[in-house]
Amino acid sequence: MMKPAEVEQAIPHDLASKWVSLGLEYISGTEGVNAIYVYAASEVPGVTYVGIAFDKDGEIQYPEPVRGGGPEAIDLSGRMLDILFEDLYEAQRRFDEVGVPQPTEYRVYYEIATRKLDVQLSREIIYGGSDYTPDFDGFTLWLGDRAPKL
């Protein structure tokens, strides 16, 4: 049986591994992709954000342009986002099962060439207890001017 501290580390590691694997599958055969970024936030009840972006040729882009756009890229991107959400909800369920507070924010960076994985979590409550529902793009909060553009 794993100790709570071990579980607390294992859940985000498993989640990040799933997200990175999914990103790698999405970009399979695509030239010039150097890194994967995943941002998720789930602080305000009923409001969850998950997004994925890729560094392609030095520019951070949302999924569709990385694969050249078009209906197929849009369809694959939509399915990928569905899976990202499913994985996040599963991780949240696991945190609840073991009585560990869920992170309110996840920042996952994976550098493909070096296999460097950086996972940052936050449990900071910024909007909780207010009626304000944030209208934001987590990548902009995280990456500033380098964030992907719509």
Q: What is the pLDDT of residues 50-83, one digit of tens each?
A: 999 999 999 999 999 998 888 998 999 999 999 9
Q: Which amino acid is at 111?
A: E
Q: Residue 2's pLDDT is what?
A: 67
**Domain assignment of residue 31, given as a range:** 4-146
Give the pLDDT mean for 39-58: 88
When divided into structural domains, the chain yields a total of: 1
Give the pLDDT mean for 71-100: 93
CATH number (domain holding residue 86): 3.30.500.20
pLDDT tens digits, residue range 117-147? 999 999 887 666 555 555 567 888 899 999 9
